[in-house]
Structure 1
Amino acid sequence: MIEYRKDIDGLRALAVLGVVGAHLGFEQLKGGFVGVDVFFVISGYLITALLTKEFRLNQTVNFGSFFWRRIRRLVPAVLATVGLTVIAAFLLFSKEQFESTVWSSITAILSISNIYFWSSVGYFDADAISKPLLHTWSLGVEEQFYLFWPFVLIGLLKLNRLVLTKTAIFVLFSASFALNALFISGDLGAVVARQSKLLVNFNDGGTTAFYWFPFRIFEFMVGAGLVFIGPGIGRLRKSVADFLVLLGTSIIVLYMVLLSEDAVFPYYNALVVAAGTGLIIWAGKDSGIAGLVFGNHVARFFGRVSYSLYLVHWPIIVFFVSLGGDLTSLQSKLVLLALTILAGYLLYFTVENPMRNASYLTVKPLTYRAVMQRASLPACAALMAMLALVAKDYEDRIPVERKTLTNSEWRKFEREKYCTGEMPEFPKDIFTCQNDRNSSETIVVWGDSHALHTVAGISEIFPDTNIAIAYMPGCIPQSGFNGLVRDMKRKDLTESCIKKNRQFLNWASDAPKPVLTLITSAKRNTPKQIAEINHELTSYLSKSGHNVYILGDFIRPEMKLAQCRAVPDFFHTEEMLSRICGPKLKAVSKEVRYNLRLAELTPNYISVIDIQCPDDECIFTNNGKALHRDNHHLSPYGSITLFSDVRMLKKFMGLGRDVRGLISSQLIDSSSADIEPRG
């Protein structure tokens, strides 16, 4: 074993308290998430020092013993956290949230949750607060480091060339940092997305760099490099060491205070944090300041329990919010902080520390087979328990009157019922949803995903008319005109959006003229910008013979109302749901103002305010059923409900029919689809 350093334990305390503070929403620690990067540097240093010392003493490393120590150190606490989280999710979450939690728990056990969350979410998006195991992404990165670095390091040490080892560390550091530069500030992410069939859902470069291990190697290498530069320097003068520790500490603290969630990350910001951490580790052994700041009993206590604190803090926050807790309240933040410390200590005291030090788990010598035998049993048991829970008819836990389809089920229903068939005059690469009724007349809707969510309502209003939706998710029709470019977070998607919009106009100039053309999209840019471009688009289409209207964007609740209510009644009473499952009024007010301003500036504008917000109060439910499938897209049920309003039909020049009876008779009781909508 390497020499125990009190200052490194205290440094862990700074890291974990920064992360917890940021996630609790303390404004003074909005950049506290960089504590994860501090952990990466510490791991790089300690693992490298441990393996290097063992190799120099024995000229070999017992990998079985090494990995078993890692497993005993990390896995039991993860299994306990995952198990308790799944139980809590079973009692509190909707079907959609529960299924997501189960999948994330499985990937957390398998040390690949960073890849799972990369494929589905951005770290700071609105869905983060509904994912209680999101924070395990960092454990996935760290455990992937354990599987990679020991073999590389020992291979290098066996060559008995210190210069080669240092060079390899520098090369790995440089290559990893260069990947950040290429993916975040360059176009490599877009190239990979286009070329790789496996990565069809490839995220923007910043998200990829945040989650994937190769982009974090440079942080681990900062720690690893310290092992090989320390001995050659000798002991530092106390004054120099104190200065370096203060400098490193100041860098980390300043980043925790000043860095925002919108900052470029990891890339150069993570490098600065890693450098600050490296200064503390390198100089801390010789510094009196390090002992004072990081070596005291309080700091060491939080350092010892830092792993357990990290594991429990995010599930506690997520479940608190799911029960209607107010995370903006200072009192709530302080209570949650105390609860996190208590729960973290209990996990450390009852699981982490006993499992790490239990004598019956430290039998030697350990072979690879012995490691696998000891590790596989608890991991498989946890996996089997969760799979059994999923296989069970677990939806019995949710009362029938609260049930609804998941977001993905609504999308499936929408496409299977309303996006069937292809019409030769409407190219599939432009019109990605077509409802072919073998009619001589077609209604066209052009826009982003908010154009697609109109398909159910328009299809039912016009039952004898073809419907063609020209849409691309996130791509507003105005992008590419009058200097406005919608940033899609990936250069190839941004360019595809502009190309698709121009293709639509080219098609419109020669195509058979639809009986009606609607332009609609989510609220982007300012009403003035959008109105000016809308005027040009409608003028062009009108000259081409199109009957064109601008359809206002429906007001969004900014809250997943359907999923909020579709929860078990173990703890969520109807009174509680009425309190916590409501639209965000500030966001609703802002949306209404946007629509009213756009209506003032836009001719041929169909206002949805008249329909959705009668008497100055916006409607988001009908007969107790939410109209949106998520926080901003209408469900097919909501689309038909809102489009059935007679005032909307008048705007369509009497071409449609009153479909209010269909809301209950056709959609809810439909037997033509595999999925039965219920909310």
Structure 2
Amino acid sequence: MQYRKDIDGLRAIAVGSVVLFHAGLHDALSGGFFGVDVFFVISGFLIGRILFTEVAEGRFSILRFYERRARRILPALLTVLLLSYGFARMLLSPLEFADFRDSLLATLGFASNIYFWLHSGYFETANELKPLLHTWSLGLEEQYYILFPLLACVFKSRVWLMRTLLLLAVASFAWAVSSVAKAPDAAFYLLPARAWELLLGAMGAVWASQHSLRDAWRKALSLLGLAMIATAVIGFNARMPHPGFYTLVPCVGTLLILVAYAPGGLASKLLELPPFVFIGKISYSAYLWHQPLFAFWIYRYGKQSFATFSPLLIMVTLALAYISWRFVEEPARKPATTPNKKLALYCGYALVLLATVAVPQKWFAQQHPNEALQALNRIDNLYEYFDFQKNIRNGVCHSVPMPARQANGCLEQRQKNIVLFGDSYAASLYQGLQAARDAQRPNYGIIQLTDGNAPPFFTPGSIDSGAALSEVNADKLKAIAAIQPEKIVIAWMIFGKNSTNDPQQELNQLNATIDRLGQISPHSNIIVVGPFPHWSVSLQKNLITYISAHNSFPRHMQQGLSTREREWDQFFKQHLHKDKVRYLSSLDALCDASGCLTSADGTVQGLTAVDWGHLTQAGSLHLVQRLAPAIFE
């Protein structure tokens, strides 16, 4: 099969888009994640071309096919997994290591896409902290290639093969479009909604083997394809439904370049530039290395440090990619260099070492004599330990439709009423508000209108349930209009999924919502509760790091504390000035010069944050106790 430099150039664009997007260049490459879709189409085209040719010539062997896949995928993957495992042992807490262990085992079974789909809820670890998250695409591809060779063998007629591929691709695409709104995580991670991208490449391989275009058409279509990929990578963003109609743009663009190969055309000249070809050759290793390298850096040094050092980490990624390509990938692909026995021995040794992942991390951590540190290390699930779902009334009053809130008593009114409006950060204030009410203000009703990933805005985007953010908040405004509460308490996570990530834009959206509230409930006083302290990864993780170094439990701490929240807090203090609106600073209530409060009572049970910022019951009680006079006055 003829080698095409332009395909390596395409791979360079794909991996570069993904790596730079994950490195934080969301403004310049807001659709960088579409690089994975480019990879899918390339894979479908190349594997399809090889497989269809071998079947047509009568020399296809299923064993040889899977041997090639193993040589291509396993050596570099196992190398990255081994080194990631070593860093995980050194850096992760027992809780974090348990997540890593499960994802590693899923990766070895080429089922990590299913694993990450099952663990894609709002209260799971943030994506940038999952070292093996990127392996979801490998799992999906290998599931596809379990089934795909059967099609090539059964439908030897190119006409029937093409019809079958088209039928399956249309069905898969329809599945993606229909499920992306209702079950976006399933659509993103699972094969039924992604198979059409690989099938698109396979159809391109069939078509290209039977048809040829005039040179002018090939040059024009290749250039159009490159422009389509650039449009997706630069112009699209994560708020667009994906996979779906928008995903067609980079996928069809990739297909055009693959089937309309135009040597000497502008697109080919660009893609065949030596830097692109070089990065394309090492693209698989670069893809494997970047996520664990980025994730472990954030674990160890925090997101702000990552933003500063991300250019260096990109260079390290490329260096590691070259080394593993040169000394692992290339030799493993050649049976003459690496016979099957030698390859099997390496994979066997790697799997034996990786099997020790089953040894619990707490066996290592419990050797430290500090009791608080041991207590922190023994927590296997923070949300269960702090009974968080019950505390925010998840599934009862939080993240449920309005009729369910009514049926569950969440809209019960008293002589005076406070509406809690926002996302899960707002929901974590409920325990504190309830305790303050029950202690001295029994005439107040507390009405909870909160949903996961639902800041109090009317911007494009969807909440955890898949419903449109603007529609959900419109329903809440209808409820507020009917209640006419004395107070409306607003809170949200400033860097959440549907945040603008800009304080001025956020203020503009907040003011727009406040204006709407003033129109529908003119006598209500609005209280905006400012950003909560935000810890890198989790408060637990930073306490483990601090106590390990100082052998003492800090009441206030700077370790792992983000400074962005203080910047936004100051901005809101200076600029949020509207009638009947009062701004309350959470940071003023929880923090001092030495840092922010870690525990309400100096114990592990009294930790103030469940994860990176959601309040525990103790944290909620402590914060609201200090804000209560302003809220209930």
- TM-score category, normalised to shorter length: 0.7 to 0.9
Which stretches in structure 1 are left out of the alignment for 5+ residues? 191-202, 365-370, 422-426, 435-439, 510-515, 540-547, 654-679
Matched, 1:41 2:20: no
Supply the AA of the counterpart residue of 2:189: Y
Counterpart of 1:323 in 2: which secondary structure?
Answer: helix
Deviation at 1:587, TM superposition (A): 3.0
Measured against aligned partners, the alpha-carbon deviations of 1:319-366 in whole angstroms (never above 9, x if no partner) come to: 2233336768997343222211111122223433333335597559xx
In the superposition, relative to structure 1, how do residues 135 and 433 fare at CA in structure 2: closer, same or farther (>3 Å)?
farther
- Contact preservation (8 Å) 2:31, 2:235: yes
Matched, 1:351 2:328: yes
1:556 alignment partner in structure 2:
532
Matched, 1:636 2:622: no
Matched, 1:386 2:357: yes
2:383 alignment partner in structure 1:
408
Supply the AA of the counterpart residue of 1:310: Y
CA distance, structure 1, for counterparts of residue 325 and residue 119 of structure 2? 31
1:5 alignment partner in structure 2:
4
Deviation at 1:562, TM superposition (A): 0.8
Measured against aligned partners, the alpha-carbon deviations of 1:86-134 in whole angstroms (never above 9, x if no partner) come to: 32233223444333322222222222222333344489x9922222222
In the superposition, relative to structure 1, how do residues 280 and 358 fare at CA in structure 2: closer, same or farther (>3 Å)?
same
Deviation at 1:39, TM superposition (A): 1.1
Deviation at 1:610, TM superposition (A): 10
In the superposition, relative to structure 1, how do residues 71 and 565 fare at CA in structure 2: closer, same or farther (>3 Å)?
same
- Contact preservation (8 Å) 2:188, 2:242: yes
In the superposition, relative to structure 1, how do residues 311 and 614 fare at CA in structure 2: closer, same or farther (>3 Å)?
closer
CA distance, structure 1, for counterparts of residue 53 and residue 314 of structure 2? 38
TM-score under structure 2 length normalisation:
0.75
Alignment match of 1:283 (pick from 260, 278, 302): 260
Equivalent positions of 1:4-23 (< 5 A) are 4-23=3-22
2:162 alignment partner in structure 1:
166
CA distance, structure 1, for counterparts of residue 176 and residue 263 of structure 2? 34
Deviation at 1:433, TM superposition (A): 9.5
- Contact preservation (8 Å) 1:444, 1:518: yes
Larger Rg: 1
Deviation at 1:295, TM superposition (A): 4.4
Measured against aligned partners, the alpha-carbon deviations of 1:263-295 in whole angstroms (never above 9, x if no partner) come to: 443323322212222222223365465764444
Alignment match of 1:258 (pick from 235, 254, 268): 235
Alignment match of 1:209 (pick from 187, 204, 208): 187
CA distance, structure 2, for counterparts of residue 582 and residue 312 of structure 1? 26
1:648 alignment partner in structure 2:
628
- Contact preservation (8 Å) 1:108, 1:140: yes
Which stretches in structure 2 are left out of the alignment for 5+ residues? 397-402, 493-505
Matched, 1:522 2:491: yes
1:664 alignment partner in structure 2:
none
2:80 alignment partner in structure 1:
81
- Contact preservation (8 Å) 1:34, 1:255: yes
Matched, 1:220 2:198: yes
What count of residue pairs does the alignment treat as equivalent?
588
Matched, 1:249 2:226: yes
Deviation at 1:44, TM superposition (A): 0.6
Supply the AA of the counterpart residue of 1:639: S
In the superposition, relative to structure 1, how do residues 178 and 566 fare at CA in structure 2: closer, same or farther (>3 Å)?
same
1:627 alignment partner in structure 2:
608
- Contact preservation (8 Å) 2:297, 2:306: no
Matched, 1:601 2:585: no
CA distance, structure 2, for counterparts of residue 296 and residue 532 of structure 1? 55
CA distance, structure 2, for counterparts of residue 18 and residue 485 of structure 1? 24
Deviation at 1:630, TM superposition (A): 3.2
CA distance, structure 2, for counterparts of residue 56 and residue 386 of structure 1? 45
CA distance, structure 2, for counterparts of residue 262 and residue 375 of structure 1? 43
Deviation at 1:308, TM superposition (A): 0.7
1:229 alignment partner in structure 2:
207
CA distance, structure 2, for counterparts of residue 554 and residue 147 of structure 1? 51
- Contact preservation (8 Å) 1:238, 1:286: no
1:152 alignment partner in structure 2:
151
Of stretches 239-248 and 134-143 in structure 1, the one that deviates more from structure 2 is: 239-248
Of stretches 626-635 and 564-573 in structure 1, the one that deviates more from structure 2 is: 564-573
Supply the AA of the counterpart residue of 1:582: S
CA RMSD of superposed structures (Å)? 4.9
CA distance, structure 1, for counterparts of residue 241 and residue 611 of structure 2? 28
- Contact preservation (8 Å) 1:477, 1:501: no
Identity of aligned residues (%): 26
